[in-house]
Structure 1
Amino acid sequence: MNAYKFLGFVSLWLLAAQTDAVYVRLSNMDMMKCSYGERGSLTATCVNATTHYFKSTPYRFDHLDETLRCVNCTLQTLESGSFDISGNQIRNLDLSRSLIKTIRQKAFVGLIFLERLILANNEIESIYPGTFIGVKKISYVNLENNTINILSADGFLELISLQELNLRNNHIANIATSAFNGLVKLKILDLSYNEISDVKGVFNNLTSLEVLDLSYNKISNLKGEEFENLTSLLEVRFNHNFITSIPAEEFFNMSALRRLDLSFNSINKIMAGSFWGLYALEDLDLSYNNIAEVPQKTMQSLHNLQHLNISNNVLSVFQTGLYSGLPQLRVLNFSNNAIEEVEVTGVFSMENLDTLDFSRNNITDVDYVTLISRLPKISYLNLEDNLLPCDLEKDMEQYFEEDNFKFILYRNMQGAVKCVDKPIVKQNKHRNLSRKDSLVAAEGASGGSSAAHIWIFTLITIILILIGALYYIQMRTYRELQSFSIKRTTSEVQLISSADLEARDNDYLKE
């Protein structure tokens, strides 16, 4: 009897559980709904939807719903034709945070007006070929914060109008060489925060690409062949990788590039031709590396460079001559290095430099008069946290008291190096000049390059005049010799003719 009661109790419990499950499903169905957004927003919001709900909902998607937004949805697998909704004019589809894991082929068929697709913050593992069949107008795809680890061949092949692709913060380690086939109009590609180590041959077809973000990856070697066809690039971000060196002509074909970020790497070697061809480059960031030397002519082709950041490296010497060939350079940052000497080299000025930062180095003295003479437009000089003598600040204040020029020698912060109370190692020969004499000296120094130009021009002119004079003398001598030779020949002919006639006359008389 007890057994029958137990079985009856179990049966009643199972029936109740089944009833509750049906009730939950019905409740969820009741909770699934799509509704209009605020007036004028042209947005429809679907709540608690599943994959099959969109085709079965009585809600009508028309011209008033340019955007479809899914909130608290559980989509998991997007089957083929999941959004094949009759009469829809959806242009923006937001499926972020919808627990999507798999996307089947033709999943977005029917969304013929779709332009922006947001699939961020899901659990998508891969993008398979055929996923985007039927949606040729898409210009923006966001796949940020998923679990993609491989970009397969032809995964985006149908997106012929795509201009921006965001694959940020996935687990991408391998990229097929044909992964981006078909993306002939792509301008922005974000592959940051992944596990990419090799990109050789990956970007060959992206001839319209303007912005490439490869920051926060595992790239260690550049082989000089990664960017051969990327002639439209305006910005490249390599920061936070493991790059150790830059091959010569690595960026040679990027004649339109304006910004190059190589900060936070392990670069210890720069070759003289590392930046050849970057004629339009405006911003170069080499901070937080292990650079100990900048070779001669490294920057010679950077005619439009405006900002150069080499802070947080291990440079020991600064030479003005290495950067005087950059006519547009305005900001030069050498903070946090091991610089002990500031050397004024070469004959040319850094014509447009406005800001120069030497903070947090090992500089013990600086010939600021000679240095400033090569910087005609300088307005800010930072020398804080160095080993400078204590009397330098007063001297500089007197020297620049009438100028619109700001300089910083010491920071009023706890732990900061104030100054060194000891004799100056390298005495500034202009230190005791009066203000008037100092200005004259500065003018003379700043005119050094002009004087050098005049001297070179004069020397060349004198050489040309001497060459011309020698040529004239040589030609005149040649003509005189030629004339004398002709006369001599004529005289000899005449003498021979007279002698012959006289001999003939004598013979005639004898006969």
Structure 2
Amino acid sequence: MNSFKFPSLALLLVLALPHTLCVYLRMSNFDLMKCSYGERGSLTATCVNATSSYFKNTPYRFDHLDETLRCVNCSLHTLETGSFDISGNQIKNLDLTNSLIETVRQKAFVGLIFLQRLILANNAIKSIYPGTFTGVKKITYVDLENNSISILSDDGFLELINLEELNLRHNEIKSIATSAFNGLVHLQELDLSYNAIGDINGVFNNLTSLRLLDLSYNKISVLTGKEFDNLTSLLEIRFKFNHITTIPASEFYSMSRLRRLDLSFNAISGVRAGSFKGLHALEILDLGNNAVAEVPQKTLQSLHNLQYLNFSNNRLSIFQTGLYSGLPQLRVLNFSHNVIEDIEITGVFSLDSLDTLDFSFNNISNVDYVRLISRLPKISYLNLEDNLLPCGLEKEMEDYFAEDNFKFILYRNEANAVKCVQTDALPKNKHTFHKDSLIRAEMGGSSANAWIFVLIGITLVLVCVLYYLQLRTYQEMRSMSVKRTTSEVQLISSDLESRDNDYLKE
């Protein structure tokens, strides 16, 4: 009988070993979990190696000195309801970055009644369900960057009535429900960049306080003209790196306060005369890296505060000064990397505030810089590098602008760069490079002004003559009317006298 006791005991130990090991590991892991106060004055409590159930069970007591709770090397996976329902806490900032979070249950943050900033970046969260933020109405900032969210469902942020900034960049968002942002009446900044969003129709209707909207790096291809009807507070909108081909005439009409519009790196082939109508406060318009081949008349006429205009990397073949002369605040024009061959001096007015003009990397072979500069009274920088300009032009311009505080670039000092084109004579029917062209232009302008004054003088003389003739006619007619009345009175008087005499005789 005793011969069987040792093997039986060994067997029991072997069978019990896995369970004992698991308990030991759990106890070890629990011992590794801890929360501690940071450096003096930091007002930060750091919890290490924690799980979602640890925060309510930790012996650490959060008090008024723990305004920030930061999780380091945590494995939270699922944030259950009430995970942070910590008695007496005054936590204002909760940082759960890189905490392996996949699921967030309803009321997961209940108990954090003082919470203002919530950082959930760099996790694996797949969705935000309605009721997730119940009980945390003071939150002003939520960071969900770099997660795995694919759909924004209705009312996911409904409880965040004081939210001012929402970061959803670097997710996998493809679809946004029309009521996804319900309740966010105070939201000022919304970042949806680096996602896969294709349709935004009706999504932003309730965001009347929004000031910044970033939709860069998405898959938006069609704008209907009604996506932003209620965004009257918007100051900046970014569409960089999408697939937009056209801009509806009334797309931005309600954005009377918009200051910056970035439409660069799209597939826009043309702009319409009313594409930017109503943008009276716009200061920066970026249309670089598109396929624009023409800028129609009056396209930019309402942009009275525009300071920076970028048309670089498009397909423009001609530049006309008159198209931009109605922009009194314009300071920078960038037309680099197009196919511009001609610079035409059109219109009457100058570009009064322009100080930087970039024509680099085009096909310009001839430029009348004297007439061009005459329309740019404040120009300080002109870039003409990598064009097809004659070799003698640089020396000529250096001599002409020797006494002016004016910088220009014609050629790049780099290998394989286009230096200049050797030519014995300038092409016919092109602009000349002589100083007297400015004098002739001014004389032509003076002659035109003289003719205008002559015509005005002739018109005034004719008006005076016509007035005089009309006055004479009026006076003659009035004189004839008085004479006729007098004669009639005399006839009546004589008739009455003859009757009275006849009566006396009788």
Common fold, TM-score beyond 0.5? yes
Q: Deviations over 1:1-52 (max 9, x none)?
A: xxx9999987654432222222111110010100111111111110111111
> CA separation in 1, counterparts of 2:275 and 2:450?
34
Of 486, 490, 493, which aligns to 1:490? 486
**For residues 133 and 321 of structure 2, what CA distance do their matches in structure 1 show?**
55
Q: What residue number does 2:278 align with?
A: 277
Structure-to-structure mapping, 1:10-89, within 5 angstroms: 12-89=13-90
Q: What is the SS of the residue equivalent to 2:279?
A: coil
Matches within 5 A, 1:304-383: 304-383=305-384
Q: Deviations over 1:190-236 (max 9, x none)?
A: 00011111111111111111000000011111111011111111110
Q: Which amino acid aligns with 1:232?
A: S
Q: Which shifted more, 423-432 or 87-96?
A: 423-432
Match of 1:235 in 2: 236
Task: Please list every run of 5 or more consecutive structure 2 residues that lacks an aligned counterpart in the other structure.
Answer: none
Moved more, 423-432 or 12-21: 423-432
Counting only pairs closer than 5 Å after superposition, residues 97-112 of structure 1 correspond to structure 2 as: 97-112=98-113
Matches of 2:34 and 2:166, distance apart in 1: 30
1:106 CA displacement: 0.9
SS at match of 2:24: helix
Distance in 1 between residues matched to 2:157 and 2:451, nearest whole Å: 63
Provide the residue aligned with 1:481 in structure 2.
477
Superposed displacement of residue 399, structure 1: 0.4
3-state SS, counterpart of residue 427 of structure 2: coil
Contact 2:240–2:265 (CA under 8 A) maintained in structure 1:
yes
Q: For 1:310 and 1:472, how far apart are their aligned partners in 2?
A: 58
- Distance in 1, matches of 2:57 and 2:190, equals 36
Residues 158-192 of structure 1 deviation map (CA, whole Å, 9 limit, x = unaligned): 11111100000111111111111111111100000
Q: Which moved more, 1:6-15 or 1:469-478?
A: 6-15
SS at match of 2:396: helix
3-state secondary structure, aligned to 2:18: helix
Give the Cα separation in 2 of the matches to 1:47 and 1:27: 13
Report the Cα distance in structure 1 between the residues aligned to 2:457 and 2:38, rounded to whole angstroms.
Answer: 80
Report if the CA contact (8 A) 1:221-1:244 is conserved: yes
In structure 2, relative to structure 1, the CA distance for the partners of 1:405 and 1:140 (3 Å cut) is same
The residue that corresponds to 1:431 in the other structure is 433
Note the C-alpha offset of 1:493. 4.7
RMSD across aligned C-alpha pairs, in angstroms? 2.8
* Alpha-carbon distance in structure 2 between the residues aligned to 1:453 and 1:165: 59
TM-score (norm 2): 0.92
Moved more, 246-255 or 56-65: 246-255
Instruction: Measure, in 1, the Cα distance between the counterparts of 2:372 and 2:326.
Output: 16
Distance 1:457 1:13 in 2: 114
The answer for the alignment partner of 1:415 in structure 2 is: 416
Residue 95 of structure 1 corresponds to which residue in structure 2?
Answer: 96
Q: Is the contact between residue 212 and residue 234 of structure 2 (CA under 8 Å) also seen in structure 1? A: yes
Is the 1:365–1:426 contact (alpha carbons within 8 Å) kept by the matching residues of 2?
no
1:481 maps to a residue whose letter is M
- DSSP-derived class of the 1:269 partner: coil
What's the offset of the Cα at 1:249? 2.2
SS at match of 2:94: strand
CA contact (8 A) 2:366 2:431 kept: no
Tell me, yes or no, if the aligned pair for 1:364 and 1:424 is still in contact at 8 Å: no
Structure 1 residue runs without a partner (length 5+): none
User: Are residues 219 and 429 of structure 1, via their aligned partners in 2, closer, same or farther at CA, if it must alter by over 3 Å?
Assistant: closer
Aligned to 2:185: 184
Distance 1:243 1:167 in 2: 21
Q: For structure 1, which segment, 36-45 or 312-321, has the greater mean C-alpha deviation from structure 2 after superposition?
A: 36-45
- Residue aligning to 2:136: 135
Counterpart position of 1:399: 400
SS in 1 for 2:306: coil
Q: Report the secondary structure of 2:28's partner residue.
A: helix
Q: Distance in 1 between matches of 2:150 and 2:79?
A: 19
Amino acid at match of 1:81: G
Residues 507 and 108 (structure 1 numbering): CA distance in 2 closer, same or farther, change over 3 Å?
closer
Residues 119/461 of structure 1: CA separation in 2 closer, same or farther (3 Å cut): farther
Separation in 2 of the partners of 1:378 and 1:317? 20
> Amino acid of the residue matched to residue 24 of structure 1?
L
1:388 is aligned to 389
1:297 partner letter: K
**How far apart, in 2, do the equivalents of 1:383 and 1:121 lie?**
46
Larger displacement relative to structure 2 (390-399 or 458-467): 458-467
After superposition, give the CA deviation of every residue in 1:230-275 in whole Å (9 maximum; x if it has no partner): 1111110001000001111211111111110000000011010111
SS of 1:485's partner is helix
The DSSP-based 3-state class of the residue aligned with 2:190 is strand
> Distance in 2 between the 1:454 and 1:79 partners?
85
Q: Distance in 1 between matches of 2:112 and 2:454?
A: 75
User: Distance between the aligned counterparts of 2:83 and 2:473, measured in 1?
Assistant: 99
**What letter matches 1:303 in structure 2?**
H
Deviations 1:405-432 (A, max 9, x none): 1100000111211111123225777635
Partner residue, 1:268: 269
TM-superposed CA distance for 1:482, in Å, is: 2.9
The answer for the alignment partner of 2:156 in structure 1 is 155
User: Structure 2: how far apart are the matches of 1:469 and 1:234?
Assistant: 58
In structure 2, what is the Cα distance between the partners aligned to 1:230 and 1:453?
47
Aligned residue identity for 2:349: F
Aligned-pair identity in percent equals 71
Q: Does the Cα contact within 8 Å between 2:328 and 2:352 map onto a contact in 1?
A: yes
- The aligned length equals 501
Q: 1:13 to 1:431 in 2, by over 3 A?
A: same
* C-alpha contact 2:368 2:433 (8 A) present in aligned 1: no
Q: Is the 8 A contact 1:347 1:452 kept in 2?
A: no
Per the alignment, residue 168 of structure 1 pairs with 169
* Cα distance per residue 1:428-460 (max 9 Å; x no partner): 776354xxx688668x38x95x99789768866
Q: 2:479 corresponds to which letter in structure 1?
A: S
What's the CA shift for 1:478? 2.4
Q: Is this contact kept in 1: 2:212–2:237, CA < 8 A?
A: yes
TM value normalised by structure 1: 0.91
Cα drift, residue 498 of structure 1 = 3.9
Counterparts of 1:358 and 1:366, CA distance in 2: 11
